[in-house]
Amino acid sequence: MSKKALYAGSFDPITNGHLDIIRRAAKMYDELFVGITVNNDKKPLFTLEERSKMVKRVVRDIDNVKIVTFDGLLADFANNKKFDAVIRGLRATTDFEHEIQMAQMNARLFTGETETIFLMTDPKFSFISSSLIKEVASLEGDVTELLPEYANEMLKAKF
């Protein structure tokens, strides 16, 4: 039976750390859905359309990846689409507390067989976050090696 997973986030912008998780998760599942969140308390720099366009372009060489957007609870979306797994990347021990809380809350909300699966971030990306990239880029710092080329072009256009 074909297995499908969801990797969700705000991707504001997508980074090389996210891309590494996407590439690895895509090898583990028949279909990987990258879910871009609509509602974002973080007040995104990029609109939903811009983030979708950016992520689509960056993952276009990976055959089994699809881009979706969703609003509301991740668990509702996962229940609706019957995902086998929700993928999360763990960068450092500091991510762990928040992630275990979310995984346990989602486990209560999942009505099907969905499991949260954690992948350890490649250490060379463990210090990256989208906020830090935006902060450095806004102050004209060089972030070229931290995010895909197309995402970097879109970021430069913003500042």
Judged by the rule CB under 6 A, the positions of this chain that interact with ligand COA are: 8-10, 12, 15, 17-18, 21, 37, 42, 73-75, 89, 91, 102, 105-106, 121, 125, 128-131
CA distance 70 to 31: 17
Amino acid letter, 53: K
CB of 18 to ligand COA, least distance (A): 5
Active site residue 42: yes
Please say which residue, 98 or 156, places its beta carbon nearer to ligand COA. 98
Active site residue 3: no
Catalytic residue among 42, 60, 66, 156: 42
Active site residue 18: yes
**Which helix (H) or strand (E) is 36 found in, with range?**
strand 31-37
CA distance 17 to 6: 16
- Lookup result for tokens 């809350």: 105
Catalytic residue among 10, 51, 130, 134: 130
Q: Which tokens belong to 99?
A: 């992630």
Just list the catalytic residues.
18, 42, 91, 130
